Structure 1
Amino acid sequence: MRSLASIAVAIGTILPFCSAKSLSDIIYRDVAVIGGGASGAYAAVRIRDDFHKSIALIEKQDILGGMVDTYIDKKTGKTFDYGVQGFLNVSGATDFFARFNISIGSGSASPSLITEYIDFRTGEKVEFQPPSSAKQIAAISKFLKVIEPWESMLFPGYWNFPEPSDIPEDFLIPFGKFLTKYGLEDGAPIIYSSTGLGVGNMSEVATMFALQSFGWDMARALTGQMGLFTPTLGGNQALYNAVAKDLGDNVLYSSTVVNSHRTEKGVTLTVRNHKTKKDTVVHARRLLVAIEPTHENVKPLDLSSFESKTLSKFTYSNEYAGLVDNKVFNSSYYYFNLPSSAAPDNTLVYQEDPMVASFQYTGLNDLFRVMVIGNTTTTADEAKVLSQDSFNALLKAGRLSGSNENQELSWATFATHGAMHARVTVEQVKEGFFQDLYKLQGARSTWWTGGAFAANFQTQLWKFDEGLIPKILRGL
C-alpha cells in the first residue's frame, strides 16, 4: 500500500505552484470534505473517529450544521429551530446523538395555532376547507402503500435507479396527476405544508421529485410508524456544536476552495479563508463533495466536460428562512399562502414560486417564522423584498392589527438555505441522467453526497453516507 506521504509527493510534483507555499500552509490528509452541513459533518466524524483516517473539513460558515438554524432568545435563553424542524428516526440516527451525550426527545411543544389561508399577493382571505385530519392521515397511509415498492429506487440515493426503459411510468407524471390517479387528493395539504412546498407548485413537478421532497419516511412519521426527535437542550444546533468540538482544528472555517487539481491518484485544493485571506493547500487522497453541485459551488473544482455537462442540467429551488419580530401579527395564527383558486376545497392548487409560504408563530415573544420558496435565480435580497411585499399586502387588506401600511418587517434573523431540491426534466431522466450522475462517483478521486445525490433529510443523508464511506475508503 502506498503511504500518504508518497501520494502527497506525487501530487506535489504535478502542481509546482504548491512549492511556493510555506510548510505551515500545506496539509496532508486521507480525505478532504467540502461542506460542513448534515452530510459533510457526519461523514467527517465517521471517517476520522471510526475509520481512523485523517480528514480536513472545509466549511464556508463559521459554524457547522448548514441549514439547521437555531435561534437563541437573548433574554430567556429559549431556542427555536427555524431551519431544520426535527430529525427522522431512521436506523442508527439516535446513535449519532448518543456518542456526543446529547439527550433527545420527541420534539419541543409547538403552540396550537389557527391556520389562516390567505392569498399573499392580494392579502385576501381564501375560504379553503381542507379535509379533516383523519382523512388526510388516511390518505397518507394509502399513499405509503402505493409508493412502497419503489423505495429502493430513490432512497437513500439513486444507486438502484432503473434504466430508462424500466422507469415506472408514475415517476414521470406530474405529482398532482399521480395523486388524482390513486385517489390521494386528501393527503395533499399535509404533504405540501410539511415538506412538499420546497419544490414550489407541487402539483406540477414530476412525481419522483415530489417523492424526494416528501417520501417514505415522512409518510411513516405522519402515520405513527416512525418517530421524529430533537435535542432536549440547545436546539438542533447543539449536535453540530458537539461535532465541531470533536473535530477541532480539522475544520477550516470561513473557507472555500478557490482552485483545485483532481486526478485518479489524489486531489490538491487551494482553500482560502475569506476573513484572513490566508490560503491553505490541502493534499488529499480522496475528496468528498458535500455541497449542492450548483455552477457557482463547483466552479473551482476543475470539472471535466462530462462532469460539467451532467451537473449543469440540475435546476433548484432557493429557500430562505428567518424570524420577524412584529407585534401586528396575531400570535394565535399560522398565516398560510394559497391562491384564491384553492377555495373551497381544491387541494391540488398552489402558488407559483417565488413566494412566501407562510408566517408562523413560534411561541417566542412576537417572533414569527418566515419561509420563502424561490426559483433557481431568487436571491436573498429578492426573498426579503418578497417577504416585505407579502407583509404589505396583509397590512393593506386588514389581516393584521396594525394600521400603518408602510411598516417594515423587523428581521430578528435570516438564513440562506440556498439551492435545494435538485431536479431535471422528464426528458433528461429518460435519457439516463441518473446513470450519468452516478458515473461521477469515484471518478478523479472524488465522491459526492448531499441533496442532489440523495434524499434531502438530515438523517437520510447520514444513511446515504453510510453506504458511501466504504466506497470512499476502499484502497486507503
Structure 2
Amino acid sequence: MPAFRNVLDPKNYDPADIIVADVAIIGGGSSGTYAAINLREMGQNVVVVEKKKHLGGHTNTYRDHSTNVTIDYGVQAFLNSSITRDYFAHFGVPVVNYTGSNNIFLLADFNTGKPLTINPSRDLTGWATQLAKYPWLDSTWNVPQPVAADLLLPLRDFLTKYNLSDVAFAIYFGAQGLSNPLQQSTIDVMKMVDPAYLFEMTGSSLGTAHQNNAEIYLKALAELGSNALIHSGVTAATRTEKGNVSLAVKTRKGAKLVQASKVLITIPPTLENMKPFDLNPEERRLFSQWDYKGYYTVLLNNTGLPSGYQWINANYSAVTYNIPQQPSASQITSTRIPGIFYVWYRSPSEMTREDVEKAVILAIQNIQTAQNLTVTTPHILKFKSHTPFKLSVPAQAIRDGFYSNLYSLQGKRSTWYTGAAFIAHNSGLVWNFTHGLLPQIASD
C-alpha cells in the first residue's frame, strides 16, 4: 500500500489499481445508485464508492432462508411519479400500489407498556393548507429570502398560532426519524411531513410487487459490476476547478486510485464524513453547522407479542400532545412473517448499538408485562443505523442564507451534491432532485 503522504500520486500504484472515470460517486444509497445508473445511460463512465457491503442506503430487506419470504424493515414505499416508475422499469422490477399492512394499531406508553385510550386526530387538512403556502417545499431546500417568519418558529408555537395542536401527534408520527419535533423549526418538520407525504397518504405510493425493495439495488450492483467499489472508503482526495479529481480509496482488494473529471457527493455532508475531501474554508464553514439525529431500525423475533399488531409509542401528557420524549422506540410492527417484528428507534443524538438494542428489548418487555403476555428475551435478527439522519441547522443560519450558500457549492471544485440533506428523506423526491441535476453534471 502506498505511503500515506503519497496516496494521491499515481506513480505509487500499479496501473491495474488506477480507475479512470468521468464521475466518481461517493455513496451508493438511494441517490448515489440512481445517479450511477442514469449517468451511465447518459454515456458517462462512473465509479461508485460505498462503505457498506451492499447498495441501497436506508432500504433494508431481510430474507428468511427457510421460507424465502422477504421483509422490508427500512424504506417501505415510494412516491408514485414517472421518474420512480421509469427507474423500476429500467431493472424490470414490477411495482404495485402500496397498501401497507393489515396490522391493528395500538397506542401504548413504551415506558410502562400500558395501553392508552386516546385517539389523536389524523386530519391533516389544516396542515396541508399551511404547506400550500410554500409550493417549493418538494423541489428545493433553497429557501426563498427573506425567510418567512412562520417557517422558523418552533413547531409547538406554529401549531398553536394556527390552531393545529390537535394534529401534533399525527405530524410527529409522519416525521419518522425526527426526534422531539415540537422543539424543531417548523420548516424542518415541513420537509418531513411535506406535500409528497400527504400525497402518498392518499394511497398514491408504490411498492414492489415482490415485496422486496432491495431488488433494484441488487440489480443495480450487478449492472455496475466492478464500477461499484463496495466495502470501500475514500481516505484522501484532491479536487480542482479544472475537472481534476483524485481519490485514494481503501477497498477490500487493497488501495485504489480513482481519477475523475467530477465527483458527486451523495453521503450526508457532515464535517466528519467530508474530512478526507480536502475541504476549503467555505465548505468547512458550511458543513460544520450541521446537527443531526440518530435513527435506527431493529428486526427481532421471540418477542412474545401476537402477530398482526403495530404498537405506537405515546403518552397521556397534554403538554406534549401525547408525543413521547426521545430517545425512544416510535413503533413496534408485526411483519408478514409470523413472530418477526421490526422496531424504529429515534434519538436526538447518536447512540451505540448496544444502548439502542437494550432500550428496544426493554420497551417490548414492558408491553409483555403490562399486557399479561409471556415475558421473553427478544432476539435481534438485524440492526441497521440510519445515522446521521435529518441534517439540520439553527433557525438563524437559515435566516442568514445557509441553504443558498450550500446550493452555491454545486459545481465548484468539480464537485456536485445530492441526497437527503439537499432535498428530503423521501426516495422519490431524492430521485426527482437528482434527475434534474444529472444533465448539468454530464455536461459540466
Pair in the same fold by TM > 0.5: yes
Cα separation, 2, equivalents of 1:456 and 1:219: 14
Cα separation, 2, equivalents of 1:120 and 1:453: 34
Q: How does 1:377-396 map to 2 (within 5 A)?
A: 377-395=350-368
| 1:125 match: secondary structure | coil
Q: Which deviates more from structure 2 when the two are superposed, residues 333-342 or residues 85-94? A: 333-342
Q: How does 1:258-337 map to 2 (within 5 A)?
A: 258-265=235-242, 266-273=244-251, 275-276=252-253, 278-337=254-313
Deviation at 1:220, TM superposition (A): 1.8
Deviation at 1:228, TM superposition (A): 0.6
Cα separation, 1, equivalents of 2:321 and 2:373: 31
Per-residue Cα deviation, 1:354-377 (whole angstroms, up to 9, x for no partner)? 111121111311011111112233
| 2:134 match: secondary structure | helix
Cα separation, 2, equivalents of 1:331 and 1:71: 17
Does the alignment pair 1:124 with 2:114? yes
| 2:386 match: secondary structure | strand
Does the alignment pair 1:219 with 2:198? yes
Q: 1:100: which partner in 2?
A: 91
Deviation at 1:108, TM superposition (A): 5.7
Equivalent AA in structure 2 for residue 162 of structure 1: P
Q: 1:191: which partner in 2?
A: 171
| 2:24 match: secondary structure | strand
Q: 1:43: which partner in 2?
A: 35
Per-residue Cα deviation, 1:212-257 (whole angstroms, up to 9, x for no partner)? 1110111122235xx1111111511011112112222211111011
Q: 2:370: which partner in 1?
A: 398
Deviation at 1:394, TM superposition (A): 3.0
Deviation at 1:446, TM superposition (A): 0.7
Q: 1:338: which partner in 2?
A: 314
| 1:310 match: secondary structure | helix
Does the alignment pair 1:146 with 2:130? yes
Counterparts in 2 of 1:322 and 1:263: CA distance versus 1, 3 Å: same
Deviation at 1:334, TM superposition (A): 1.7
Equivalent AA in structure 1 for residue 353 of structure 2: A
Q: 1:455: which partner in 2?
A: 424
Q: 1:55: which partner in 2?
A: 46
Q: 1:73: which partner in 2?
A: 64
Cα separation, 1, equivalents of 2:415 and 2:162: 41
Counterparts in 2 of 1:73 and 1:202: CA distance versus 1, 3 Å: same
Per-residue Cα deviation, 1:36-86 (whole angstroms, up to 9, x for no partner)? 11100001111112x101100111112111111011122222222110010
Equivalent AA in structure 2 for residue 437 of structure 1: L
Per-residue Cα deviation, 1:337-387 (whole angstroms, up to 9, x for no partner)? 113315xxx773422221111211113110111111122332323211221
Cα separation, 2, equivalents of 1:122 and 1:180: 29
1:111/1:362 contact within 8 Å kept: no
2:192/2:425 contact within 8 Å kept: yes
Q: 1:5: which partner in 2?
A: none
Per-residue Cα deviation, 1:179-219 (whole angstroms, up to 9, x for no partner)? 3333334433333223x142111222111000111101111
| 1:150 match: secondary structure | coil
Q: Which deviates more from structure 2 when the two are superposed, residues 71-80 or residues 331-340? A: 331-340
Q: 1:444: which partner in 2?
A: 413
Does the alignment pair 1:253 with 2:230? yes
Q: 1:156: which partner in 2?
A: 139
Decide which of 169, 181, 200 is 1:202's aligned counterpart: 181
Cα separation, 1, equivalents of 2:265 and 2:303: 43
1:356/1:390 contact within 8 Å kept: yes
Deviation at 1:469, TM superposition (A): 1.3
Cα separation, 2, equivalents of 1:125 and 1:15: 58
Per-residue Cα deviation, 1:152-205 (whole angstroms, up to 9, x for no partner)? 1x332224x212xx21111111223323333334433333223x1421112221
After TM superposition, the score normalised by the length of structure 1 is 0.87
Structure having the larger proportion of residues in helix? 1
1:119/1:339 contact within 8 Å kept: yes
Counterparts in 2 of 1:109 and 1:142: CA distance versus 1, 3 Å: closer
Does the alignment pair 1:239 with 2:211? no
Cα separation, 1, equivalents of 2:408 and 2:372: 53
Q: 1:8: which partner in 2?
A: none
| 2:212 match: secondary structure | coil
Counterparts in 2 of 1:355 and 1:54: CA distance versus 1, 3 Å: same
Counterparts in 2 of 1:109 and 1:334: CA distance versus 1, 3 Å: closer
Q: 1:427: which partner in 2?
A: 396
Cα separation, 1, equivalents of 2:327 and 2:306: 25
Counterparts in 2 of 1:412 and 1:217: CA distance versus 1, 3 Å: same
Runs of 4+ in structure 1 off by over 6 angstroms are none
Cα separation, 1, equivalents of 2:345 and 2:372: 19
Gaps of 5+ in 1: 1-13
Deviation at 1:400, TM superposition (A): 5.2
Cα separation, 2, equivalents of 1:188 and 1:81: 27
1:97/1:103 contact within 8 Å kept: yes
Cα separation, 2, equivalents of 1:205 and 1:146: 17
2:62/2:72 contact within 8 Å kept: yes
Counterparts in 2 of 1:247 and 1:350: CA distance versus 1, 3 Å: same
Cα separation, 2, equivalents of 1:327 and 1:16: 51
